[in-house]
Amino acid sequence: MDWEQTKCYLFNLEGLTLADLPSCAFNLLSKSELEQCLCFDSEQDQVVHLCSRVLRRRLVSNALGVPAAALSFTVGSFGKPSVLPAQSMTTNRVEFSVSHSGHYLAILMTPHGLCGVDIETPDNSLDTTNILAGTLLSARENDFIVSASNRRESLVRFYQVWTLKEAFLKANGEGLSGLEKLDLFEYLDFHSLDGQARALSHWPNVTFRVHTSEHYVLSYLVDRDIDTLPFIKISPSDSIRIIEGDGHARP
DSSP string spanning the chain?
--TTS-EEEEEE-TT--GGGS-THHHHTS-HHHHHHHTTSSSHHHHHHHHHHHHHHHHHHHHHHT--GGG--EEE-TTS-EEEPP-TT--S---EEEEEEETTEEEEEEESSS-EEEEEE---TT---TTSSBTTTB-HHHHHHHHTSSSHHHHHHHHHHHHHHHHHHHHHHT-GGGGTTT--GGGTEE-SS-SS--EE-TTSTT-EEEEEE-SS-EEEEEESS--S---EEEE-HHHHHHHHHTS-----
| 183 and 249 part of one domain | no
- Examine residue 78 and state whether it is found in any structural domain, yes or no: yes
| 8 and 73 part of one domain | yes
- Examine residue 245 and state whether it is found in any structural domain, yes or no: yes
| 230 and 108 part of one domain | yes
Supply the range of the domain harboring residue 50: 1-112+226-251
Question: The whole model's pTM is what?
Answer: 0.89
- Examine residue 35 and state whether it is found in any structural domain, yes or no: yes
pLDDT at residue 196, rounded to an integer: 47
| 99 and 127 part of one domain | no
CATH number where 36 lies: 3.90.470.20
Q: What is the pLDDT of residues 47-89, one digit of tens each?
A: 999 999 999 999 999 888 888 988 888 887 777 888 887 644 5
- Examine residue 117 and state whether it is found in any structural domain, yes or no: no
| 136 and 83 part of one domain | no
pLDDT at residue 251, rounded to an integer: 38
| 137 and 87 part of one domain | no
| 66 and 170 part of one domain | no
For the chain of 251 residues, list the mean pLDDT of each consecutive stretch of 10.
76 97 94 94 97 95 88 81 68 86 96 90 78 70 86 89 89 68 74 50 71 93 81 96 76 38
Count structural domains, the chain.
2
| 20 and 82 part of one domain | yes
- Examine residue 221 and state whether it is found in any structural domain, yes or no: no
